[in-house]
Amino acid sequence: MTIESKYQRIAFVASPVLEAQRALAQLSSDYGNREVDDADVVVALGGDGLMLRTLHERMRTGTPIYGMHRGTVGFLMNEYSRQGLIERLNAARETVINPLLMRATDAAGEVHVHHAINEVALFRQIYQAARLRILIDDQVRMPELISDGILVATPAGSTAYNYSAQGPIIPITANLLALTPINAFRPRRWRGALLASSAHITVEVLEDERRPVAAVADHNEVRYVTRVEVLTDKSISIRMLFDPGHSLEDRILSEQFGV
């Protein structure tokens, strides 16, 4: 490793799948493997699931994360190669994202706080559709939404579940959030809204005992919620590294043109 490298200390993390574990062994042999708390950069080997977990674990450290695809879905990952890693890291472009903060109040009155990099979603828990009231910055914007649920997506998460729910794709540099219904029944024609990233979104669950709802921030679930608040946490900046021409912004743009 040359002294000119910006990243003298590399930590590798990998998913448990065989392909990722083989890459971990090879790259650790080639470049060494520091402890993540003593690293200048963390290289994640796997799919988007591992990348999200790594981003969550390191979100408060400021350590940049560089992913290489050794899993199933790899939208957040760079292509894998054993050669030239130092040069790729030095040439990589940085994307900074802010996570969502979810405050979910359950039926017992307990408040659960979780962060989400992709989205915060509310789902009906039983056969009954959810009945929700939506407030933006403490103003009621939709007195009643009857649906399977609703989600709030970041630009980074706009191509994930949000896109499958017919939500808009948002450029990574846009200061916007997507508010997208999940199978809306009433109002049937409502397709959601684009909101400023500074918006304070509150979803109140109506008839919560008869129509129970769960809230999920990425992989953290809270059941039997009565009220969920969502806002962008500007106090946390997550640094992601991408190869030139393969940035998250490039891929989000490509998704909008179907390529």
Q: Is 247 annotated as a binding residue?
A: no
CA 196 to chain centre: 17
> For residue 226, what is the DSSP state?
E
What's the Rg (C-alpha) of the chain? 20
Q: Is 156 annotated as a binding residue?
A: yes
Q: Is 118 annotated as a binding residue?
A: yes
The SS3 of residue 244 is coil
How far CA 94 is from CA of 75, 90, 161, in Å, comes to 16, 11, 24
Fill in the amino acid letter for 168: P
Q: Is 30 assigned a catalytic role?
A: no
Q: Is 164 annotated as a binding residue?
A: yes
How far CA 90 is from CA of 23, 61, 102, 237, 244, in Å, comes to 20, 20, 35, 20, 11
Q: Is 232 annotated as a binding residue?
A: no
Q: Which residue carries 């990348």 as its tokens?
A: 51
Q: Is 127 annotated as a binding residue?
A: no
Q: Is 30 annotated as a binding residue?
A: no
Report whether 100 contacts 119 (CB < 8 A). yes
Q: Is 193 annotated as a binding residue?
A: no
Q: Is 210 annotated as a binding residue?
A: no
How do beta strands 238-242 and 213-217 pair?
unpaired
Instruction: Catalytic residue, from 30, 40, 48, 106: name it.
Output: 48
- Stated as kind and residue range, the H or E segment containing 250 is helix 248-256
Alpha-carbon distance of 252 to 172, in angstroms, equals 7
Q: Is 133 annotated as a binding residue?
A: no
Alpha-carbon distance of 182 to 149, in angstroms, equals 5
CA 121 to chain centre: 11
Question: Residue 64: is the preceding peptide bond cis (ω within 30°)?
Answer: no
Q: Is 48 annotated as a binding residue?
A: yes
Q: Is 80 annotated as a binding residue?
A: no
Alpha-carbon distance of 51 to 74, in angstroms, equals 9
Which positions make up the binding site for NAD(+)?
48-49, 53, 118-119, 148, 156, 159-164, 220
Catalytic residue numbers? 48
Which positions make up the binding site?
48-49, 53, 118-119, 148, 156, 159-164, 220
